[in-house]
Amino acid sequence: MLEKISALKEQSSILQKSIHSIKLDPSCSYQLAFHLDDGWSGVLNLNSLTVTHMHCPPPPWLDGEELTAYSCLRRPAWLPTNSVYAVGSSSRNGVYLLDFLPGRSSACHVDHSSEADTISGESKGVGKNRFIPTSEGVLACAVHPQNDTVIAGSKHSALLMVSQRHQIDENPRHGC
C-alpha to C-alpha distance for 148 and 151, rounded to whole angstroms? 9
Report CA torsion sign: 121, 70, 89, 17: positive
Residue 64: CB atoms within 10 Å: 7
- What dihedral angle (degrees, nearest 10) is formed by the CA atoms of 161, 162, 164, 165? 50
Cα–Cα distance measured from residue 130 to residue 6, given in angstroms and rounded to the nearest whole number: 25
Tell me which amino acid residue 48 is. Answer: S
Domains and CATH numbers, the chain: 2-162 (2.130.10.10)
CA 4, 26, 109, 39 torsion: positive or negative? negative
pLDDT of residue 24: 97
What is the structure's pLDDT at 143?
A: 96
Buried b (16+ CB within 10 A) or exposed e, 79-102: beeebbbbbbbbbbbbbbbbbbbb
Q: Where are the beta strands (DSSP E) in 77-137?
A: 77-78, 84-88, 94-99, 110-111, 118-119, 130-133
Q: How far is CA 1 from CA 17, 45, 70, in A?
A: 12, 11, 23
The residues that bridge with 54 in the sheet, in sequence order, are: 42
Per-residue pLDDT of the chain (176 residues; tens, 9 = 90+): 444 444 444 445 555 678 888 999 999 999 999 998 888 899 999 998 888 999 988 766 665 655 554 457 889 999 998 999 999 998 889 999 999 999 888 998 887 655 444 444 444 445 789 999 999 999 999 999 988 899 999 989 999 998 876 655 565 555 44
